[in-house]
Amino acid sequence: MPFHHLAVVTRDVVGNHLFYSQAMGFELVKVEVRKTPEGGWAKHFFYDTGSGEMMAFWELHDGSLPEKFPTGLSEAAGLPPWVNHIAFQAAGVAELQSHLKRWLECGYDVLEIDHGWCYSIYTTDPNHTLVEWCVTTGVFDEGDRAKAQRALIEEVDFDVGKAKIQHHRSRCEPLHRREELLSAGKAEKERGP
């Protein structure tokens, strides 16, 4: 069952927009502006991920909230950054490689892992959440299903020696920290629709 949307918070809508529109290639298609039940108000930005599913971001305006609440999915839970993350589906390894190139050109470091049964690239969005492009390259057999069922209730063997890991460093500044892009985006935001 596909998602309709996944909604998370951002404290930097302009930097977040640069990342999700340019580095990810998603189109901003809708904003909903509403009062919140707590007495504040919020903008809810929706990005089409290209498959009919959407990624949504809240910009909250509520004086009762702490000034610096954590926005990263793992950070907010007090966990290491790799734990809670968002994975988008790539059509194949070739498309995954073009996403990798795009991230590097947009200033984002990339971790590339061939897990053996799926192929992944990872980077961190402006909200400090780990974002992944992933493609399934293997086929699940009865052994996979049986081990997964066993793992629910007992210890099972480690998956060792299967993942191939590469780190790629970008040579440029991340989009969401480029002053000229941020000020252009902020001017646009102040002008309004």
Binding site for Fe ion (CB under 5 A): 87, 132
Backbone angles phi, psi at 39, to 5 degrees: 105, 0
Bridge partners (DSSP) of residue 42 are 34, 60
Give 40 or 138: the residue with its C-beta nearer to Fe ion: 138
Give 36 or 97: the residue with its C-beta nearer to Fe ion: 97
Give 11 or 168: the residue with its C-beta nearer to Fe ion: 168
Question: DSSP characters for 2-66?
Answer: --SEEEEE-S-HHHHHIIIIIIS-PEEEEEEEEE-TTS-EEEEEEEE-SSS-EEEEEEEE-TTS-
Nearest distance, CB of residue 120 and Fe ion, angstroms: 6
Give 14 or 131: the residue with its C-beta nearer to Fe ion: 131
Nearest distance, CB of residue 118 and Fe ion, angstroms: 8
Nearest distance, CB of residue 35 and Fe ion, angstroms: 36
Nearest distance, CB of residue 86 and Fe ion, angstroms: 9
Distance, in Å, from the CA atom of 52 to the CA atom of 118, rounded to the nearest integer, reads 23
